[in-house]
Amino acid sequence: MSISRKKRRSRQVSAEELNVAPLMNLFVAIVPLLLLSAVFVSVSSIDLSAPTRSESASQPDDFVLAVRITPENWWVDARGDGSVAVERHDTETLWSVLDQHHQERPEHTSVLVACAENVEYEEVIRVLDVATLAGFPDCALVGMDAAPAAQAAGEQP
């Protein structure tokens, strides 16, 4: 009886090797398929920079153009020319107002874009794009508090 027990144990101890070839074949087929189906996104950037002292010295009239983005409207503020309200998402009107300022002062290439905290990112990018297309490649992005901006524009909070 002891011999048959040893034979049973020896049969139980031996294990077969796993065949991983089908799994490797699956990976070889799936990896190129996933790479081909990946979406390739083109990345673009907007150069944001504040005007330097040399630029401000070359513009002695102290002209400052700013676009304020509030949840209600867009405001185009030009020092000495007053403020112009533009309805949100009306990029054509914003472009025409900015283009008019660019035609009046073609040497001025900078604009400040001030936005409230609760403004969506896409809206800020849209305004920056319109400012660049209107002839203001030097854009500086600054933040603002919505309540003081509304009071400065003469609105009731």
pLDDT at 35: 84
Domain residue limits, the chain: 2-37, 53-152
Give the separation between CA 104 and CA 7, rounded to whole angstroms: 102
pLDDT in tens, 46-68: 666 655 555 545 555 577 888 99
Three-class DSSP category at 8: helix
pTM summary value = 0.56
Q: Alpha-carbon distance 141 to 152, whole Å?
A: 19
> How far, in Å, CA of 143 to CA of 127, rounded?
14
Residue 137 has pLDDT above 60, yes or no: yes
CA dist., res. 14 & res. 113, Å (int): 75
CATH 3.40.50 fits 53-152, yes or no: no
Cα 154 to chain center, whole Å? 30
More confident residue, 9 or 83: 83
